[in-house]
Amino acid sequence: MTRRTTLALAAGAATGGLASKPANAAPASPLRLWYRQPAQEWVEALPVGSGRMGAMVFGGVAAERLQLNEDTLWAGGPYDPANPEALKALPEIRALIDAGDYAKATEVADARFMATPKRQMAYQTIGDLKLAFPGLDGQATDYVRDLDLDGAIATTRFTVGGTRYTRQVIGSYPDRVIAVRLSADKGRAISVDLAFDCPLKSKPVSRVEGVNTLVLAGANESQQGIPAQLTFECRVQVINRGGALSARDGALSVAGADEVLLLIAAATSYRRFDDVGGDPVAINRAVLAKASAKPWAALLATHQADHRALFRRVEADFGTTTAALKPTDERIKASQTTDDPALAALYYQYGRYLLIACSRPGGQAANLQGVWNDKSSPPWGGKYTININTEMNYWPAEPTGLAECVQPLVAMVRDLSVTGARTAKVMYDARGWVVHHNTDLWRASGPIDGAKFGVWPTGGAWLCKHLWDHYDYNRDRAYLAEVYPLMRGAALFFLDALVVDPKSGKLVTNPSISPENSHGHGSSLVAGPTMDQAIIRDLFTSCIKAAAILGTDADFTAELTAAREKLAPHKIGKDGQLQEWQEDWDADAVDIHHRHVSHLYGVFPSDQIAIDTTPKLAGAAKVSLNTRGDISTGWAIAWRLNLWSRLGDGDRAHRILSLLLGPERTYPNMFDAHPPFQIDGNFGGTSGMTEMILQSRNDQILLLPALPSAWPTGRLTGLRARGAVGVDLTWTRGKLETAVLTAAADGRHHVRYGASAIDLDLRKGQRVRLTAGDGVLRRA
């Protein structure tokens, strides 16, 4: 806590902001979620993660539930969904769209253009490790459970019969385990029965191995006609200090121990999207052999040092009131009527915590639920929905100092360039590679879910923006050389697949949709939706820039430059709105309040539209946003938060943030509610708050561009801007106090605060402090 926060809390309590501090209140901390009762529902449990594994901790007294996941446990197995009949149907679909027969085009696409199968595989759960504690059926007092974001540890504390019990759970990336410590303040007080409960229809089997290891082993499930091809194993090694171990009926028991340490490892036979020949047993045994050689203190220290090296890069303080002393669930319930700026800061850091816990080098990218899922067939399959949701997961990564967490996404794009090349050839007779609106562990790249949702060819192109952004924020030329072929392949597809719109003569995608909206003219299918044109314009531009930096591909970039000039531009419609389609159809849309705001991609995450560079288009974007409305699904509210921040309206952005933080869109454990749970809203919320305080776009660094009046004083430090520069910001009474820029690479930076601007030529390692006491930026 900052000194100012501590004083504010103390002053508030002294003046009656909180009548008395309950005996079971957690210590005041701006980085802790805490509760006075165990979780009853999954969305009340607390998440920990090791990058590859996730656990939801319920915090029960007589019984504890640890719901477990491993990031490669998905249904099915390697498969190729490319439909060889699609290429024959493509000319007919395009002709029907050009003729305005959108309903017939959809009929043909549904029958002949979709991937086989028409659905993808689902992310699955290992199930539960259930802990029963004999003798703890009495009334617990002084109960508190919490999740310390800084320490990345979930802890449950309570007293029964005069004994104080403590249970701690961590997800360690360095040691690749979920580790649980059961302890008490009296000897011989720990007795626990352990058993697995798995919901998979493949019926994995639980058994005891040796004297101290509980094993769950089996296979994943078949889905959509794709046979199950993965084996998996989860094993728990029990290390007890004192007491006795016994086994019965595939379960383990410990009686009368002074302390118990549980080490949980899980793995599947997955090696790559086309290789399921791994040995999960050997992997788990090796992991546990290493981890079991360490005492709890060493495991905890290694884990926390690793986590804090990332997490502590950023500090956030938007102000504090006495509302921050209440349990987290109570704060969320009261958020719509209570002044609680610290709740926003907690949500901000929670998003960063979640990304660290679920997306680390060597593991899978964060899916629709990060790494946390309690179902064998979760909502939307828990897949990678790449028409917004997967990208939103990574919006906060670069600007909030978590560049390492992007590596799994880069690895996924590398895989997709392989599977997407076959889809491009088979279904479009095109070079390069393409991915539509969803993918899964097996890197399926064809259109699924029916033509009205799935015939959208720019998912891979949007993912490539993250490849470029990773370079732009870090300026690593060697990395750019590695990913440039991926970007080039995505652009090559569109050089082949774009067609001339007979109405305008412009290059457009055809067929496509504006995700996931229907234009009201018989279908969703269309040629050249605004989002596609903007995404492809970004892709071509980043390829052109990358080739120039690398000194390569002059002929190819000339071709891209010529094609970029022929792309259909953004248009303003008759109602002053930014058009979603080439035709002025926004008022005809089936749902004018649709959750997706796809046509506003150019405002955010792109920077093609901005209030200072394209004011007319920015004004049209505001009209579109006002028509759409602020209230939507959780992730869609988060996108609106980012958009209004980019459009410079801090107070509107803050009102939308308040909607996101309310009990209808934030569960008691702070997971985002679509509903149901989707993690992208959490990450989008963190990104949107960053955009309120710092923007890095159009070759500028903007300081406090959308500061809301609700946060008159605060600080946000450790941020990153394009050009490989760190930014620390402090403001007082709504005005910039100081900005400290630290260069990680040589570069020139145009820094702007309001109407004042300054150009800085910085060398790697150079640190500059700026002030703006009178509204004018100057070096301190």
- Which pLDDT score, from 0 to 100, does residue 24 have? 54
**CB atoms < 10 A from the CB of 139, how many?**
10
Nearest Cα residue to 189 out of 135, 115, 113, 263: 135
CA distance 390 to 370: 10
Rg, Å, the chain Cα set:
27
Q: Are 531 and 458 in contact (CB under 8 A)?
A: yes
CA dihedral sign, ordered 608, 612, 616, 619:
positive
Nearest Cα residue to 349 out of 606, 683, 753, 738: 683
Beta strand pairing call for 231-241 and 259-268:
antiparallel
- Which pLDDT score, from 0 to 100, does residue 773 have? 84
Q: Are 577 and 620 in contact (CB under 8 A)?
A: yes
- Which pLDDT score, from 0 to 100, does residue 11 have? 34
Q: Which CATH architecture has domain 36-74+122-312?
A: Distorted Sandwich (2.70)
Q: Are 68 and 53 in contact (CB under 8 A)?
A: yes
- 3-class secondary structure, 537: helix
DSSP, residue by residue, 438-498 = EE-TT---S--S-HHHH--TTHHHHHHHHHHHHHHHH--HHHHHHHHHHHHHHHHHHHHH-
Q: For residue 172, what is the enclosing H or E element?
A: strand 163-172
- Which pLDDT score, from 0 to 100, does residue 28 have? 60
pLDDT averaged over consecutive 10-residue blocks of the chain (780 residues)? 38 30 56 98 98 98 98 98 97 98 98 98 98 93 98 98 97 98 98 98 96 97 98 98 95 98 98 98 98 98 98 98 96 96 98 98 98 97 98 98 98 98 98 98 98 97 98 98 98 98 97 97 96 98 98 98 98 98 96 97 98 98 98 97 98 98 98 97 98 98 98 98 98 97 98 97 98 93
According to DSSP, the residues that pair with 449 across neighbouring strands are none
Q: For residue 641, what is the enclosing H or E element?
A: helix 634-646
CA distance 45 to 764: 44
Provide, for the chain, the percentages of residues in helix, strand and coil under a 3-state DSSP scheme, each rounded to the nearest 5: 35, 25, 40
Q: Are 336 and 23 in contact (CB under 8 A)?
A: no
**Structure tokens of 643?**
């958009």
Amino acid present at 580: E
Nearest Cα residue to 719 out of 682, 693, 753, 745: 693
Q: Are 609 and 643 in contact (CB under 8 A)?
A: no
Q: For residue 148, what is the enclosing H or E element?
A: strand 141-148
For the chain, give every domain's residue range.
Answer: 36-74+122-312, 359-582, 714-779
**Structure tokens of 539?**
């892709």
- Which pLDDT score, from 0 to 100, does residue 254 have? 98
Quick one: fold of 359-582? Glycosyltransferase (1.50.10)
Query: What CA dihedral angle connects 770, 773, 775 and 779, to 10 degrees?
Result: -20
Does this model's pTM top 0.85? My answer is yes
